[in-house]
Chains A and B, each alone.
Chain A
Amino acid sequence: MNLKILLFVLSVALVSSCSTAYKTGQTPDDVYYSPARPIEEKHNVEEKKDEIKTVKRNYQDRQIVMSIYDPRWRNFDDDYDAYYDPYRYGYSCGYYYNPYYYPSPVYISGAIFTNPKNTTPRMTNLGSYNYSNMVVVNQKSGSTTLIKSTRPYNNNNNATDYIRRIITPQANTSSNNTYRSSDNNTRTYTPSTNNSSTNSSSGSSSNGSSGTPVARPHRGG
């Protein structure tokens, strides 16, 4: 929002500062026809040149007046004199006089070292986008054709085309996490066992994560 306000103010200043040459006549409409710009009268240009000269002369006058009161103004236009350079002495006469030289490592107090940024991208399961390819076999010729089928959508709570698999807790069991299902579920989980475990105290896993392990809170807070 600040950027917008700044741009607005700058633009208004720019627009309002423009002196228009079309105040008294028609405003050209460049969509239809754009005439060449009217040339300003010559005496105006002459006046501007005179103004520049006057400004230059005034500047010199002011410099003379200032030099009367302050000697520094007298050498204002002189070339740079290395004699007055405060750093010249130190560099040419040895490191001892160099104000930036220090014989031992410099430790800057107050430096803050932060952990590296986590650069994990915002990824998604691209399998949820893909069109599935279906192979259609021509019964007569035996040839196959690959066609793309669109994904189905469920946008209605009364839809009967999409029945959710019913998975209910298994009765007569002491485990809270045991269920039974009449259908196979695709979210089976078979983690590889050659990676790190939850009890690992090492600084990183072998599969992309790093840092210190974060424990899961106890169930029930």
Chain B
Amino acid sequence: MKKIILLFFIAISARCFAQIPEDAIRYSWFPQNATARIMAIGGAMGSLGGDITAAYVNPAGLGFYKTNEAVLTPGFFSNNNKANFRQAETLDKRNGFSFGPSGVIFGFHSPFSGEKSNAICLAINQTANFNNEIHYKALNNYSSFGEQFAEELAKSNDPVADFLYSNSKAPYSIAPAWNSYLIDTVRVNGVLQVRAASERILDSGQALQQEMIKKTSGGIYEFALSFAENSNKKWLWGATIGIPVVYYKSNTTFIETDTSSNNFNGFKSLIYNDNFKTTGVGGNLKLGVIYRPKDYIRLGLAVHTPSFFLLKDTRTVNFNTQIESDSGNVYSYAEHSTTYTNDQPGESSYYQTTPWKVIVSASYVFREIQDTRKQRAFITADIEYLNHRGSRFSNNNEDPTDQETAYNKALNKVVKHEFKGTFNFRAGGEIKFNTIMGRLGFAYYGNPYKDKALKGNRTLLSGGLGYRNKGFFIDLTYIYNITKDVNMPYRLEDRANTFATIKQEQANVVATVGFKF
């Protein structure tokens, strides 16, 4: 199957390269999105079944259906972000809409065996939501944003003229940084070096004011076609073919300014703006089984293959600098990356595979009987293992250069070193009073970073109500999601790096409406 999917992508793809390590966990580290009922119980769906969310977690759970159902799951979220960057706190907000699993399920008796029943499901789900805004601002007396470009040029050992072309090999970094005078060559003790103009501020013992605003939007929208079979009421199995569509957009603005009143120190300000977009499509397979050793008890196991993505990045970058001359005059320079990408946004395409995922689960369903007035409650819990270090990048260039091949290998090695496997936990329960239901849930997603200094985790607390009557049902859930993460504005090889810690508190309201037919 993997070969078939890869062959399919190879057939339709164009030239491609690798990207950066942060792209790895964007498509693997996110909480499970589900219907309001399942979100209210922490998103646990590895063994419970009987909900359209099963198509995205354990498709065997669809095997419980013998009825037809259509559901729609809209949602609204409000993000409150608190960033701590070099001991200065900044607050920011972002609101938006989302949607959970929506689609139709057809449950029916097997045409080949009276004992068996089958279910088919067609669904769409926003499995990841990228809508967010990160903002932080602080003084920095240690390093500068411009140093990354100085470091890149120094390490290249190529003449700078090699980068200054209308179709440059460094159109987003060295070329515009050089022509905006953000970086330049200087002689130190007679040795030629590359330095950022802003370094003079730091060398004189002053601090730079740094401000970062990063707005992101989009998500992963996954179409699912599922089939499940309830073999003999003890064993259920199912499979889902998933087609995830990626749309990610980010706008990053980084502002660096001289905090001194000295107009003779060579640097006044930099406004850097990066517009970046990733689009693409992928494919994956989800397989699962549920075993019922006896009434009331359900045990589940599900395996998700990696998603094989064919992605395309589109990017433009602006450098606006104000450079002070030795006479104290301030000169402005504006450089746009399109000058170095043939007067149009640059594009690059590549393959990315996400990690494998394994879910084990158990549920206790109190009173599995037809009369809904006597159905009482259930509890359920999932344990999920996700190996974040398993993300891989590759190119499909027919004749890749040695540099591209080396970069790919190094990138995958860095992903293995930077990230680690995590155990994620989801648990919840429901109490049912005829047509009214009440639910509570909890979920925890572990830290994907191997470096202990980098803290990242997600904790979700949820509660909700449901109503089912006369062929109609509606569920309403509130989820309080606390995400801790880090954000590095830039990285340097020869200095200690700096990062902001982000604490995001997300209030999420999800509703699911549906009909039986």
Complex: how many Å from CA A18 to CA B71? 11
B370 near A33 with CB under 8 A, answer: yes
Q: Please indicate the chain A residues that have their CB under 8 angstroms from the CB of B85 in the complex.
A: 155
Q: Is residue A130 within 8 Å, beta carbon to beta carbon, of the partner chain? A: yes
Interface residues of A in 176-212 (CB under 8 A from B): 176-181, 185-193, 195-198, 200, 204-212
Spot the interface stretch: B5-13, B46-54, B503-511: B46-54
B161 near A200 with CB under 8 A, answer: yes
Complex: how many Å from CA A102 to CA B22? 56
Q: Is residue A115 within 8 Å, beta carbon to beta carbon, of the partner chain? A: yes
Complex: how many Å from CA A187 to CA B144? 14
Q: Is residue B95 within 8 Å, beta carbon to beta carbon, of the partner chain? A: no
Of chain B, the residue at the smallest CB distance from A169 is: B200
Q: Would A191 and B159 be within 8 Å (CB), given that A18-B515, A30-B51 are in contact? A: yes
Encode A106-125 as 1/0 by CB contact (under 8 A) with B.
Answer: 00000000111111111111
Chain B contact residues: helix, strand, loop or mixed: mixed
Q: Is residue B414 within 8 Å, beta carbon to beta carbon, of the partner chain? A: yes
B68 near A37 with CB under 8 A, answer: yes
Select one of A22, A169, A186 contacting B494, CB under 8 A: A186
> Considering residues B15, B48, B65, B161, which has the most beta carbons from chain A within 10 angstroms of its beta carbon?
B161
> Considering residues A167, A196, A197, which has the most beta carbons from chain B within 10 angstroms of its beta carbon?
A167
Q: Please indicate the chain A residues that have their CB under 8 angstroms from the CB of B207 in the complex.
A: 157
> Considering residues A25, A127, A212, which has the most beta carbons from chain B within 10 angstroms of its beta carbon?
A127
B517 near A19 with CB under 8 A, answer: yes
Of chain A, the residue at the smallest CB distance from B167 is: A211
Select one of B19, B74, B161, B333 contacting A213, CB under 8 A: B161
Number of inter-chain CB pairs below 8 Å: 367
Q: Is residue A154 within 8 Å, beta carbon to beta carbon, of the partner chain? A: yes
Q: Is residue B332 within 8 Å, beta carbon to beta carbon, of the partner chain? A: yes
Interface residues of B in 478-504 (CB under 8 A from A): 491-499
Complex: how many Å from CA A155 to CA B189? 30
Q: Is residue A20 within 8 Å, beta carbon to beta carbon, of the partner chain? A: yes
Complex: how many Å from CA A72 to CA B99? 51
Encode B331-368 as 1/0 by CB contact (under 8 A) with A.
Answer: 11100000111111011111000000000000001011
Q: Is residue B260 within 8 Å, beta carbon to beta carbon, of the partner chain? A: no
Spot the interface stretch: B283-291, B301-309, B463-471: B463-471
Complex: how many Å from CA A16 to CA B440? 30
Q: Is residue A58 within 8 Å, beta carbon to beta carbon, of the partner chain? A: no
Spot the interface stretch: A3-11, A46-54, A79-87, A134-142: A3-11
A164 near B493 with CB under 8 A, answer: no
A129 near B491 with CB under 8 A, answer: yes
Q: Would A220 and B331 be within 8 Å (CB), given that A119-B15, A153-B496, A198-B164 are in contact? A: yes
Q: Please indicate the chain A residues that have their CB under 8 angstroms from the CB of B159 in the complex.
A: 191-193, 195-198
A209 near B165 with CB under 8 A, answer: yes
B343 near A209 with CB under 8 A, answer: no
A187 near B195 with CB under 8 A, answer: yes
B473 near A179 with CB under 8 A, answer: no
Q: Is residue A215 within 8 Å, beta carbon to beta carbon, of the partner chain? A: yes
Q: Is residue B116 within 8 Å, beta carbon to beta carbon, of the partner chain? A: no
A126 near B342 with CB under 8 A, answer: no
Spot the interface stretch: B103-111, B381-389, B420-428: B103-111
Interface residues of B in 317-338 (CB under 8 A from A): 323, 325-326, 329, 331-333
B414 near A207 with CB under 8 A, answer: no
Of chain A, the residue at the smallest CB distance from B165 is: A209
B99 near A190 with CB under 8 A, answer: no
A216 near B178 with CB under 8 A, answer: yes
Q: Is residue B157 within 8 Å, beta carbon to beta carbon, of the partner chain? A: yes
Complex: how many Å from CA A22 to CA B165? 69
Q: Please indicate the chain B residues that have their CB under 8 angstroms from the CB of A91 in the complex.
A: none
Select one of A4, A32, A177, A178 contacting B378, CB under 8 A: A32
Q: Please indicate the chain B residues that have their CB under 8 angstroms from the CB of A210 in the complex.
A: 165-167
Q: Please indicate the chain A residues that have their CB under 8 angstroms from the CB of B188 in the complex.
A: 167, 179-181, 185
Q: Is residue B170 within 8 Å, beta carbon to beta carbon, of the partner chain? A: yes
Of chain B, the residue at the smallest CB distance from A19 is: B517
Complex: how many Å from CA A220 to CA B370? 83
A-B contacts besides A34-B50, A191-B157, A209-B164, 17 pairs, CB < 8 Å:
A11-B70, A18-B517, A28-B516, A31-B48, A34-B65, A118-B344, A124-B21, A125-B491, A130-B414, A154-B498, A157-B86, A157-B141, A187-B193, A211-B166, A211-B342, A216-B178, A220-B329
**A residues in contact (CB < 8 Å) with B:** 3-4, 7-8, 11-12, 14-15, 18-37, 114-131, 150-157, 159, 162, 164-169, 175-181, 185-193, 195-198, 200, 204-217, 219-221
